Amino acid sequence: MELWLVLITLILTAVISTTLIGRYSCTSEWQGYKTLTSSLTNILAVSLGVSVSTMPRTPSLRSLFLSWVCFSLAFSTVFQAFLTTFLIDSGYKTPIQNMDELFASGIKLAYPEDSSTLFEENSGPESLDVQRNHVNCPSYGECVNWAMYHKNVSVLMDDKFAEEHYASGGFVGENSEPLLCRLEDGVFYNYGQSMVMFHGDPLMRRFNEIIDRVVEAGLHTIWDSLRMNWYKIYSRKIAIVHPLDEYYSFNLYHMQPAFYLLLIGWCLSAFCFMLEVMYNRTFNKRN
């Protein structure tokens, strides 16, 4: 509000000064600088970067006009710089990257009850920090909602569980932005899946061979991607499997529509200029 008031005050001051100098100058000045309406039109034209109809004659008015041009150029540059910065990154805040930053931030950590034995059995410093920052929630789902919408706790969950919810749209906002960010060194426990068979089963060797071939061929990765795509189609939401939790680079590729619009504007301006030239020539010939 203060910025707009200052700008309006400066415009009114420049309009009044231009009108007074145009009226009471020693030499003759154009009629366009002797009335408030015409002076306001010229001042606004300079502020918007548009050329005026006639340039001033007197040195005093030219000095005032030059100072206003310099002010408008500086103001427009700063305004466009701040507007571009706001459109590209409106209040970006670097997310927490690792466990040390998580513990230093003071955010509590929530995890399911069946995961508490993993930290109790391990007496390392990280396990002690996790137990010290642990918070009890009414339910694990309630903790996940606190982390997504209130940002007051961090949650510990399985990677598969997180990817499925990202694919189904559960952890994605209205604008397809991730509601949870993943830590860089957040993996603290790895586990594998196994198939239970009877001891001495004659097909155990064949099963192991098939499992090894499936893993080496990458079929399990394809099956996981197909399942994620099915979740995305079934949920009917625009979801992403891997959340984007880093700064997004804004380059000239994203400005292509602006350049196309600028090119269209230039073409229309050239077309209007040609029409005006042709009209003036035709009108002069008739006269």
> Rounded to an integer, what distance in angstroms lies between the CA atom of residue 203 and that of residue 225?
29
What is the structure's pLDDT at 270? 92
Q: Do both 227 and 173 map to the same domain?
A: yes
Q: Which residue has the higher pLDDT, 260 or 133?
A: 260
Same domain, 36 and 149: no
The more confidently predicted of residues 90 and 87 is 87
171 touches 241 (CB < 8 A): no
CA-to-CA distance for 19 and 3, rounded, in angstroms? 24
CA-CA distance, 112 to 138, in Å (whole number)?
11
**Cα 16 to chain center, whole Å?**
42
Higher pLDDT, 172 or 201: 201
| Same-domain status, 128 and 224 | yes
Q: Residue 228 is encoded by which pair of tokens?
A: 């994620």
Residues 160 and 279 in one domain: no
3-state SS class at 154: strand
Task: Report whether pLDDT(219) > 80.
Answer: yes
- pLDDT (tens digit, 9 = 90+) per residue, 271-283? 999 998 888 888 7
Pair 55, 83: CB distance under 8 Å = no
Neighbour count for residue 269 (Cβ, 10 Å): 10
* Region 52-80 average pLDDT: 85
Same domain membership, residue 83 and residue 36: yes
Backbone angles phi, psi at 3, to 5 degrees: -65, -45
Q: Distance from first CA to last CA of the chain, Å, rounded?
A: 53
Residue 120 in any domain: the answer is yes
Q: What span, in angstroms and rounded, lies between the C-alpha atoms of 76 and 167?
A: 44
Most confident of 33-42, 176-185, 189-198, 267-276: 267-276
The whole-chain average pLDDT of the chain stands at 78
247 within domain boundaries? no
Do 221 and 151 belong to one domain? Answer: yes
Please tell me whether residues 83 and 122 are part of one structural domain. Answer: no
* Contact between 30 and 36 (Cβ < 8 Å): no
Per the structure, the complete domain to which residue 30 belongs is given by 2-88
How many domains is the chain built from?
3
* Domain shared by 231 and 111, yes or no: yes
Residue 146 and residue 77 share a domain: no
114 and 194 within one domain = yes
Domain of residue 17, CATH code: 1.10.287
Distance CA 266, CA 233 (A): 43
Do 204 and 265 lie in one domain? The reply is no
Whole-number pLDDT of residue 252: 67
**pLDDT in the model for residue 243:** 45
Instruction: For residue 75, count other CB atoms closer than 10 A to its CB.
Output: 14
Confidence of residue 240 (pLDDT cuts 50, 70, 90): very low
- For β-strands 153-155 and 108-110, DSSP reports them as parallel
Mean pLDDT of 40-53: 86
Alpha helices by DSSP H, listed for the chain, are: 2-24, 36-47, 59-88, 99-105, 116-121, 125-132, 140-145, 159-168, 204-217, 219-235, 256-286
The confidence score (pLDDT) of residue 239 equals 42
Domain co-membership, 215 together with 282: no
Report yes or no on 248 lying in a domain: no
What is the tens place of the pLDDT at every residue in 190-204? 777 777 888 888 888
